[in-house]
């Protein structure tokens, strides 16, 4: 990064944060603290109102705002593709905001950059996964939950969970403090503190119904950070499989959630799954028909055999 770009980046960093230490700027731009001192002096001499406080850091004078900066073609394409993604996967409110943002971005681009950006975007397309775009009911809940998170209000809903070793579902009513929303492989997941379990739990929005906003308030714990949050991994069971060699590419492309390891050998593709419960992978394994063989555990081999016998009787 040359000096001109670095000076601009420093101003943007100061504009983004209230106070920034010289040491932190030095680490961010991979330069010495002494160089940061010289850069800040150069910005001050150029008329940028930077305030420095010993032992605290640098900040911009209140009210100062850097005028809009220009985007490169690559930066513009990145932002516009981002609006496409939000329009596909977020709720109606953000979908409208994404459309408005796209219009504003395109409006401020110089004609040459706008034309080149349009040309690049015609060669790129953001397609949804094989799963359907977020259903309308799920979009509605997504918006309600998002607002409840920002307002720090609790919500309640009915939750459906498939019972292991059963074709029935279990329905339960939950009251939770919503901490955040996570998009996992095309499916929205709510991370929340459940009053019933007295702990953090994860809820698929596709399994939620009868959602109600409550007046009860909650306070997000100071130690909780969604970006740093890592759920406890309780997948302690392994399933070993062997796929026919001609299925290897399709299995790799499937990118199955529970896939832990794979290795190609002469007699096929060996895959290891790591799951919480064996039935979690039952439907996926059955979907490959005779192109896969369960090697272990024996109990899962028997489970597959039982399902195959049921299918044979049906036909």
pLDDT of residue 128: 63
DSSP string for the chain = --HHHHHHHHHHHHHHSS-B-HHHHHHHHTS-HHHHHHHHHHHHHTT--EEEETTTEEEEPTT--PPPPP--HHHHHHHHHHHHHHHHHS-HHHHHHHHHHHHHHHHHS-HHHHHHHHHHHHT------SSPP--HHHHHHHHHHHHHHHHTEEEEEEEEEEPTTSS-EEEEEEEEEEEEEEEETTEEEEEEEETTTTEEEEEEGGGEEEEEEEEEE----TT--TTT--------EEEEEEE-GGGHHHHHHH--TTEEEEEEETTEEEEEEEESSGGGGHHHHHTTGGGEEEEE-HHHHHHHHHHHHHHHHH-
**How many CA atoms lie less than 13 Å away from 155 in the CB half-sphere?**
29
Answer yes or no: pTM beyond 0.85. no
pLDDT of residue 68: 62
Over residues 243-248, mean pLDDT: 93
Helix axes 3-16, 22-29, angle to 10 degrees: 130
Q: What is the domain class of 237-314 according to CATH?
A: alpha beta
Given a cut of 70, whether residue 189 has pLDDT beyond it is yes
pLDDT of residue 220: 92
Q: How far apart are CA 191 and CA 198, in angstroms?
A: 13
Given a cut of 80, whether residue 135 has pLDDT beyond it is no
pLDDT band at 195; cut points 50, 70, 90 = very high
Q: Which residue has the higher pLDDT, 159 or 46?
A: 159
CA distances to 56, 173, 206 from 146, rounded to whole Å, are 35, 20, 15
Given a cut of 60, whether residue 61 has pLDDT beyond it is yes
pLDDT of residue 65: 67
Q: How far apart are CA 34 and CA 258, in angstroms?
A: 50
pLDDT of residue 1: 76
Range of lowest pLDDT (100-104, 196-200, 292-296, 307-311): 100-104
Q: How far apart are CA 63 and CA 57, in angstroms?
A: 18
Given a cut of 60, whether residue 202 has pLDDT beyond it is yes
Given a cut of 70, whether residue 250 has pLDDT beyond it is yes
Given a cut of 70, whether residue 54 has pLDDT beyond it is yes
Q: What is the pLDDT of residues 219-228, one digit of tens each?
A: 999 899 998 8
- What kind of fold does domain 3-60 have according to CATH? Arc Repressor Mutant, subunit A (1.10.10)
Given a cut of 90, whether residue 134 has pLDDT beyond it is no
Taking Cα atoms as reference points, which of 167, 307, 296, 278 lies closest to residue 241?
296
Residues 6+ apart with CB under 8 A from 287: none
Residues 6+ apart with CB under 8 A from 120: 73, 77
Q: How far apart are CA 156 and CA 196, in angstroms?
A: 11
Over residues 188-215, mean pLDDT: 93
Q: How far apart are CA 14 and CA 20, in angstroms?
A: 7
pLDDT of residue 37: 92
pLDDT of residue 129: 57
Given a cut of 80, whether residue 164 has pLDDT beyond it is no
Given a cut of 60, whether residue 166 has pLDDT beyond it is no
Over residues 292-304, mean pLDDT: 94
Mean pLDDT over each residue of the chain, to the nearest integer: 86
Q: How far apart are CA 292 and CA 285, in angstroms?
A: 7
Given a cut of 90, whether residue 4 has pLDDT beyond it is no
pLDDT of residue 18: 80
Q: What is the pLDDT of residues 93-133, one digit of tens each?
A: 888 888 888 888 887 788 888 888 888 888 877 766 555 55
Given a cut of 60, whether residue 79 has pLDDT beyond it is yes
- 136-217 maps to CATH 2.30.30: yes
Q: Which residue has the higher pLDDT, 69 or 114?
A: 114
Quick check: bond before 242 cis, omega within 30?
no
């Amino acid at each position: 990064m040359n000096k001109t770009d670095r000076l601009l980046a420093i101003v943007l960093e100061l504009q983004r944060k209230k106070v920034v230490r010289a040491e932190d700027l030095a680490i961010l731009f991979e330069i010495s603290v002494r160089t940061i001192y010289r850069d800040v002096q150069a910005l001050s001499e150029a008329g940028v109102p930077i305030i420095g406080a010993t032992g605290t850091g640098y900040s911009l004078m209140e009210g100062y705002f850097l005028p809009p900066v220009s985007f490169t073609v690559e930066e513009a394409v990145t932002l516009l593709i981002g609006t496409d993604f939000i329009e596909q996967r977020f709720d109606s409110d953000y979908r409208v905001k994404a459309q408005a943002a796209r219009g504003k971005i395109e409006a401020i681009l110089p004609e040459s950059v706008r034309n080149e950006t349009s040309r690049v975007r015609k060669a790129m397309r953001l397609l949804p996964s094989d799963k359907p775009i977020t259903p309308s009911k799920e979009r509605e809940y997504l918006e309600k939950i998002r607002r409840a998170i920002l307002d720090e209000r609790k919500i309640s809903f009915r939750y459906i969970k498939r019972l292991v070793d059963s074709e029935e579902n279990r329905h339960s009513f939950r009251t939770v403090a919503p901490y955040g929303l996570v998009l996992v492989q095309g499916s929205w997941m709510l991370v929340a503190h459940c009053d019933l379990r007295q702990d953090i739990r994860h809820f698929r929005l596709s399994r939620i119904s009868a959602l109600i906003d409550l007046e009860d308030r909650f306070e997000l714990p100071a130690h909780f950070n969604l970006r740093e949050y890592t759920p406890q991994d309780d997948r302690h069971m392994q399933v070993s499989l062997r796929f026919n060699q001609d299925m290897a590419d399709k299995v790799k492309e499937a990118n199955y959630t529970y896939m832990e390891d794979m290795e190609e050998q002469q007699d096929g593709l060996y895959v290891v799954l790591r799951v919480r419960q064996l039935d979690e992978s039952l439907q996926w394994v059955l979907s490959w028909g005779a192109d896969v063989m369960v090697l272990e555990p024996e109990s899962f081999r028997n489970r597959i055999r039982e399902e195959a016998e049921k299918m044979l009787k049906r036909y």
